[in-house]
Structure 1
Amino acid sequence: MNKIEGIIFDFDGTLAELTIDFNDMKRRLKALGEAFLEPLPEIGALPALEWVDHIAACLETDDPDLGKEFHTRCRFLIISMEIEAAKRGKLFPFTYSILRGLQQDSIKTGIITRNTAAAVKTVLPDVEKLCGCFLSREDVKNVKPHPEHILKALDFINICPEHALMVGDHPLDIETGKRAGTMTAAVASGRMSISELNEAKPDFVAANCQELIDMLRENKLL
């Protein structure tokens, strides 16, 4: 396994407590969607952002303006819920020490998130000082699990994928890293158990980021 020269972290559930209720978000989005299109198409477990894009595209087929209105109203709803959740959120106790320690050891870091930048900066105002690159969903055309999200961050910190590690609390994060060609690590500090995370077959699994970094140091991968 290659020496790790750079680490890209997810944010919510990885570096900060996960406070947003995604099930409630989907319920509210569905109620809004039913005011525009009924019946709504069945699209399974599609994440909220992709769900909104899909419904908007359906509406735009017959009425482009209606599709844009729906998309805008949904985005406002999502952002308002994200910021409210961020006001209740807090960093994990180890977050500052991990990021500063990696800086001192010349390990380049980045943070990528599907969240809005305003929500992240509510919890971590100095995010851009603690890592070499911070990319929220507003900063990329395609958010994770699309590899563009992590590849753009790696390009910014000048690290090739084979020497990088993607760290997150959800199988989606592991998929992102695998699609980009990085090593992957899953942490059970969000809402997924270690057994659930193991199903995504990451290279490393730990209870949280502190345990993960300790493991990597012990194995001389950092």
Structure 2
Amino acid sequence: MLRALIFDVDETLVYYEGYDHREWYENWVMPALRKHGIELDYETYKKTVTGNLPRSYIERFGIDHVEFWQIVDSVNLEYRKKMAELGRIRPFPDVGALKELKEMGLKLAAVSNASQECTEFVLDLFGLRKYFDVVYGKDYSNLDGVKPDPYLVKKALKALGVAPQETLMVGDSHHDVLAGKRAGMKVVNVTRFGKVEGADYYVKDLWELVELVKKMMGGQSP
């Protein structure tokens, strides 16, 4: 029986107009790191974010890795605030589906690889925080526990008090699919940016997700 859904946030519920990952790192993060005497090129940084290198890897550059990620996340929060001022963070037009899912009696969680502050900021920006029973950003006590690792997803399952087989993971990326599968869940890929291999279900938007959930709760085979 379906009791809960766990959502990714960025690119699933909200998007950033004109966002370019390399540009963000080089224009926003690198200057902040240099103030702390840290030089880290984009390609190495990208490998730590994609999981090709552990997040603790940057300790070989002579800085505590928790401190490093706190610097990155504080810059990310400033970036999000600036983009919000410019009207360049936007909710997808189908986020109203969250209200319908909540009214169906489902528990909802939001799980992001961004920091807790950054995650709550964008949810609050569009009044979406109220739909979620639990919101988790990255955990500084386990920085390698970000998606595709299932750590944050399992943390959300425990907080919601639901089993993996009672829950759907909903996201846009390969990392979301892997994290959900590794936590023992069925995964729904929202195909705004194309299909990701390995998901159990594919929907074009969140309204299609509502229809899928209705079928599942009605005992029909979707």
Quick check: TM above 0.5? yes
Matches within 5 A, 1:161-176: 161-176=164-179
Q: Deviations over 1:100-153 (max 9, x none)?
A: 222221111111112234444444324442111111225873222221101111
Superposition CA RMSD, Å: 3.4
Are positions 1:102 and 2:101 aligned together? Answer: yes
Match of 1:143 in 2: 146
Aligned to 2:91: 91
Match of 1:152 in 2: 155
Partners of 1:149 and 1:210 in 2: how far apart? 25
1:133 counterpart = 2:125: no
Q: Is the 8 A contact 1:135 1:153 kept in 2?
A: yes
TM-score, normalization by structure 1: 0.76
Tell me the equivalent position of 1:202. 199
**8 Å contact 1:52–1:71 — kept in the other structure?**
no
1:1-222 pair list within 5 angstroms: 3-19=1-17, 20-28=19-27, 29=29, 36-37=38-39, 45-47=47-49, 53-60=55-62, 64=63, 71-87=69-85, 88-96=88-96, 98-125=97-124, 126-138=127-139, 141=142, 142-189=145-192, 192-194=193-195, 197=196, 199=197, 201-219=198-216, 220=218
Contact 1:121 1:127 in 2 (8 A): no
Q: Return the alpha-carbon distance in structure 1 between the equivalents of residues 174 and 98 of structure 2.
A: 23
Equivalent residues, number: 209
Percent identical residues: 21
User: Alpha-carbon deviations, 1:136-194, whole Å to 9, x = none?
Assistant: 225873222221101111111111011111000111000110111111011123xx312
Secondary structure of 1:159's counterpart equals coil
* Contiguous gaps of at least 5 residues in structure 2: none
Gapped regions of structure 1 (runs ≥ 5): none
Q: Does the Cα contact within 8 Å between 1:15 and 1:91 map onto a contact in 2?
A: yes
Higher alpha-carbon deviation: 82-91 or 31-40: 31-40
Secondary structure of 1:137 counterpart: coil
